[in-house]
Amino acid sequence: MNWRESGFELPQVSVNLSVKQLERPEFIDVLDTILADTGMIPSHLKLELTESVVMAVGDSFGLLDKLRSLGISLALDDFGTGYSSLSYLKMLPIQQLKIDRSFVEGIGSNGGDEAIIRTIMELARSLDFEVVAEGVETEEQAAFLAELGCQQLQGYLHGRAVAPAEFRTRWSKAT
């Protein structure tokens, strides 16, 4: 289904990337061509990379800088479960940190997970990163994260995956 041709504009599409994709020499050229051919606004594409992917790719900083220069948004996925090198974090040209679901699951039952989430939120604020929490399934989790200023929540609390037609119906009612 072509969303734009049907008169429905998605605000942003997120795509997870692997080491294999990023190591392909033609990756940026292919991506740039896809954006041009589809007419997609680059800022409407968010590429998500885990810390381990960033560390495994040679010259990842140069590659990420090129992606940013195209206007593409970048997110560090599953934050806190990989290398979490703060010296690298401050140099990455990302706009968003995604708190891993393993920490979110502990909200309300594990003070350690809650402390880690608070720390990630404070770190993100100080580096001017937006924060997304993954795996939000309860109102208690959503309230805790909202109180800390988390900008976006992902998880079954908002709904499970649905077919495009059902998504469009739900989105139209919500907007």
Q: Is residue 148 part of a domain?
A: yes
The count of other CB atoms within 10 Å of the CB of residue 73 is: 19
- Domain of 91, CATH number, reads 3.20.20.450
Reading phi first (left if > 0) and then psi (alpha if -120 to 50, else beta), residue 18 is in: beta
Reading phi first (left if > 0) and then psi (alpha if -120 to 50, else beta), residue 110 is in: beta
Q: Is residue 61 part of a domain?
A: yes
Q: Is residue 6 part of a domain?
A: no
Quote the pLDDT of residue 39: 87
Q: Note the pLDDT tens digit of each residue in 73-121.
A: 999 998 888 766 787 788 889 999 999 999 999 999 999 999 999 999 9
Structure tokens at 29: 């050229």
Closest to 96 measured CA to CA, from 55, 60, 49, 27: 49
Residue numbers of the chain with a pLDDT score lower than 70: 1-4, 83-84, 175
Helices then strands (H, E): number in the chain?
9, 6
Q: Is residue 131 part of a domain?
A: yes
Burial of 35-68, coded b for 16+ CB within 10 Å and e otherwise, reads beeeebebeebbbbbbbebbeebeebeebbebbb
Quote the pLDDT of residue 101: 96
Quote the pLDDT of residue 1: 47
Closest to 75 measured CA to CA, from 92, 63, 57, 58: 92
Quote the pLDDT of residue 174: 73
Q: Is residue 29 part of a domain?
A: yes
Q: Is residue 81 part of a domain?
A: yes
Strand partners, 13: 45
Q: Phi, psi at residue 38, to the nearest 5°? A: -90, -15
Quote the pLDDT of residue 64: 93
Q: Is residue 41 part of a domain?
A: yes
Structure tokens at 82: 């990989």
Total domains present in the chain: 1
Quote the pLDDT of residue 2: 66
Domain hosting 101: range is 13-174
Answer yes or no: are the C-beta atoms of 110 and 120 closer than 8 Å. Answer: no
Q: Is residue 144 part of a domain?
A: yes
